[in-house]
Structures are given as structure tokens and as C-alpha cells.
Amino acid sequence: MLFHCKGDYQVELRILGYQFPGDTSGGWDSNWLRVYIGVKAGTGKRESADPALTTWELARVAAWFEGLARGEAPHGTEMTFTEPDLSFGLRNDAQDRIKQVRIGLNRNWNLESGVTFLDIDADMEELLRISRGLKEELGKFPERKPAAHGGIAG
């Protein structure tokens, strides 16, 4: 998933896999995702791959962007996650035709001059593209749910 940001920046977000691929229990650990984050700018590229989101958090981000596309006011203007590697925030009113979305990166990124955030101006079409791209990423590594334990107690 590629985000086209102001200032000729690009942020790539891609799911690499489950952090614990062998854990299919459906619990917290089995739903951690290894996330590739790459930031490209005129000065070069920085990248990392870390367990930055859970399946539930990624689904929430996709729904958040889809809601913005429909003009729905989010429950909160900033979306943060268990790991502080990434955040998303709405910088203007959800009813505005062009939404101003801020992507926050943790302070270890220190892009040019200590920049730790990048901004996007997105219309409905772009917001839907982002939401679909995030859902596609999640589709490759869906939520793992606890197995139903059937049987008759005896």
C-alpha cells in the first residue's frame, strides 16, 4: 500500500507476515503482523520491518479510511496502536471534500530536520483506494480466531 504525501514523500506499508506464524491459537500473539514501512523522499529511503500492528488494528485502519471517504466523523481524530511505530490522524473536518490526513512515525525515524510525520491531502477516491489497499494486505494475513472446541462433555 502506497501513500502519496506532501513534499514528494511516499510511505509504503506492506504486511510481511504473522510475527508468530506457527501460533494459530487465535490469541493476541497469533494476530501480530510484521509490517514493512518504507519512506521515500528526495534525500533517499528509510525502511524498517517490525511487528507494528495486529490484524484487528489493520482492520480498524482500513475501516477508518473508508469512513473518511463517506464523510463520517471518526470516533477520534488520531488513531494510535499498541506499538508506537505508526499513527494516523485527521487534521481537518470529516465533512471537507479533501481530507488532510497525517501519518505519524515514531521519533526513531527522524527524517529531514527531525520530521516524524507526513501529510496527505486525499479526496474520496484516494481514501477508498487506501482502504481497499489495506484490506488487500489484511486479506493475505487475516485475523486468526480461536478454534471452536466442539464435542460432548462426559
The winner for highest mean pLDDT among 61-70, 111-120, 145-154 is 61-70
Q: How confident is the model at residue 64 (pLDDT cuts 50, 70, 90)?
A: very high
pLDDT at 26: 93
pLDDT at 67: 94
Q: How confident is the model at residue 132 (pLDDT cuts 50, 70, 90)?
A: very high
11-36 mean pLDDT: 95
Q: How confident is the model at residue 21 (pLDDT cuts 50, 70, 90)?
A: very high
Q: Which of 79, 131, 124 is nearest to 99 (CA)?
A: 124
Q: How far is CA 119 from CA 22, 90, 93, 99, in A?
A: 37, 10, 15, 10
Q: Is the pLDDT of residue 30 over 90?
A: yes
Can you tell me which residue has the cell 484490506?
135
Domains present along the chain, CATH in parentheses? 2-140 (2.30.31)
Cα 87 to Cα 89: distance, rounded to the nearest angstrom: 7
Q: Is the pLDDT of residue 42 over 80?
A: no
Mean pLDDT of the chain: 88
Convert the pLDDT of each residue in 68-101 to its tens digit: 999 988 887 889 999 888 999 999 998 999 999 9
Q: How confident is the model at residue 148 (pLDDT cuts 50, 70, 90)?
A: low
Helical packing angle, 124-140 and 55-69, nearest 10°:
160
